[in-house]
Amino acid sequence: MSDRLFIFDTTLRDGEQVPGCQLNSIEKIEVARELEGLGVDVIEAGFPVSSPGDFNSVVEIAKAVTWPVICALTRAVEKDIDVAAEALKYAKRGRIHTGIGTSDYHIRHKFNSNPDEILQRAIACVKYAKRYVEDVEFYAEDAGRTDNEYLARVIEAVIKAGATVVNIPDTTGYCLPDEYGAKIKYLMENVTGIHKAIISTHCHNDLGMATANTIQGVLNGARQVEVTINGIGERAGNTSLEEVAMIFRSHKEAGIETNINSQRIYDMSRMVSRLMNMPVQPNKAIVGRNAFAHSSGIHQDGVLKNRESYEIIDPKDVGIDDSAIVLTARSGRAALKHRLQVLGVNLEQDKLDKAYEEFLKLADRKKDINDDDVLMLVGKDRTAMHRIKLEYLQVTSGVGVKSVASICLNIAGERFEAAASGNGPVDAAIKAIKSIIHRTMTIQEFLIQAIDKGSDDMGKVHMQVAYDGNIYYGFAANTDIIAASAEAFIDAINKFIQ
């Protein structure tokens, strides 16, 4: 029998405290809906007393989602609790998350107080919150550095006062995994009435131990984890949701189950990264660009023979299409053959050997080899299969004149002409294309690179185009960078227009 672990997501509260990553209410609703689809149990939607914007976000999120509990943070201050209760009035299931610092650092320096007074304030804030909602979570801020005996007294008292969940934050990310696990065990064994409440972990990542500490907390009795998407949060961040969910999915012997629909993890991660303008580090576990990418020949060969030789998670389980076999100078023949097969090209052994020799020469010059490079190596041109082709492009541009582009596209044999002006020659060309292809598409990323050096060099353009909620990649190379830009845009469009 498995034990249920509740996932409390605080991306929109602790996660949103990252400088420069603030979201507006509409974006927060978008994230909250996606979190609901992901299957989180609790959404911490904000700290309502902190600003009218936060208050409003909690109200709107409470209206927008149905089944997760909506939680609002407060200090152990009556005014905070009044405002949180007001913000939660539309929540189908609302929770007030209130608490106070319990470590000596907080008691003496932050509050200029003493342990008995803090204990009374803890009891009072829970009782006050109970006037509004049944579900009250108490946090003992800096519990990680709080003496276990005193912590147990506080936790026992707040449970008696009605707390349904008791949060044991390692606010400064200081604890070692064994130490944090032992703290939870101590509470399980020494707090009378502990079974009337759920113990929650809330671990920060200052020493890179947030996930390890959270896991130890769960293995010792906690049944709620406070986490964020991509592990974002104050300073070095919080425990990352995707890591905890996939750890318990991979280690069934732990007997812990969550409600997370793991196949939605990758899209969720991208959404948060995009809306918060916060790139995910490439080597981030589970969701980093390289999490399922293999670049050395030995690993590639192993993965192609049996994925599990070098992967403990099937990328499809987290919503990633497939493992990436990254072609570099360290790749072997097997990887090149595989990539060609994926692209629909099957070569006889002697042709493959020849292509591999050329590939190695190119890979020595270039950091990574993309599909177009590979097709070029074997004399195939993907654009030949394109439905939309560029017939001609003429652009006027210069200093003191407006850029104008005239274009002709051949779409499945029929010719379409258009002209447009723009902020510059590329803008004019893109606008002219858009005036023929009537779709709502936006360029998300646009990169121009020279292949070698010199003004007669080829310009390579990589583009990311967003259309209908998906991202499509376009690529082109041309000695004329305006033409390369238009061709890359058309290349991306060809991927969604059949």
Q: Going by DSSP bridges, is the β-strand pair 42-46/69-73 parallel, antiparallel, or unpaired? A: parallel
Cβ contacts of residue 218 below 8 Å, gap of 6+? 5, 201, 225, 244, 248, 254, 256
> How far is residue 103's CA from residue 111's CA, in Å, rounded to a whole number?
11
Does 55 help bind ligand KIV (rule: CB under 6 A)? no
> How far is residue 107's CA from residue 90's CA, in Å, rounded to a whole number?
35
> How far is residue 397's CA from residue 402's CA, in Å, rounded to a whole number?
6
Does 95 help bind ligand KIV (rule: CB under 6 A)? no
* Residue 233 CB, nearest approach to Zn ion (Å): 6
Stretch that binds ligand KIV, among 50-58, 163-171, 175-183, 379-387 (CB under 6 A): 163-171
Q: Going by DSSP bridges, is the β-strand pair 293-294/42-46 parallel, antiparallel, or unpaired? A: unpaired
The one of ligand KIV, Zn ion, none whose footprint includes residue 139, by CB under 5 to 8 A per kind, is ligand KIV
* Residue 151 CB, nearest approach to ligand KIV (Å): 13
Pick from 9, 14, 135, 487: which binds ligand KIV (CB under 6 A)?
14
Residue nearer to ligand KIV on the CB measure, 167 or 485 = 167
* Residue 169 CB, nearest approach to Zn ion (Å): 6
Pick from 15, 68, 94, 169: which binds ligand KIV (CB under 6 A)?
169
Does 139 help bind ligand KIV (rule: CB under 6 A)? yes
Burial 94-117 (b: 16+ CB within 10 A, else e): bbbbbbbbbbeebbeeeeebebee
Pick from 57, 103, 146, 171: which binds ligand KIV (CB under 6 A)?
171
* Rounded-to-5 percentages of helix, strand, coil across the chain: 45, 20, 35
The one of Zn ion, ligand KIV, none whose footprint includes residue 106, by CB under 5 to 8 A per kind, is none
Stretch that binds ligand KIV, among 52-60, 165-173, 386-394, 423-431 (CB under 6 A): 165-173
Does 106 help bind ligand KIV (rule: CB under 6 A)? no
Does 14 help bind Zn ion (rule: CB under 5 A)? yes
Tally of residues, the chain: 498
Does 94 help bind ligand KIV (rule: CB under 6 A)? no
Stretch that binds ligand KIV, among 21-29, 57-65, 151-159, 164-172 (CB under 6 A): 164-172
Pick from 153, 202, 284, 299: which binds ligand KIV (CB under 6 A)?
202
The footprint of ligand KIV on this chain (CB under 6 A) covers a number of residues equal to: 8
The one of Zn ion, ligand KIV, none whose footprint includes residue 8, by CB under 5 to 8 A per kind, is none
Q: Give which of 146, 264, 362, 301 is closest to 166, Cα–Cα.
A: 146
> How far is residue 441's CA from residue 447's CA, in Å, rounded to a whole number?
17
Does 145 help bind ligand KIV (rule: CB under 6 A)? no
Task: Give the neighbor-by-neighbor strand order of the sheet with 388-396.
Answer: 388-396, 403-411, 414-422
Q: Which residue reads 């660009």 in tokens?
A: 289
> How far is residue 497's CA from residue 438's CA, in Å, rounded to a whole number?
11
- Chain residues binding Zn ion by CB under 5 A are 14
- Chain residues binding ligand KIV by CB under 6 A are 14, 139, 141, 167, 169, 171, 202, 204
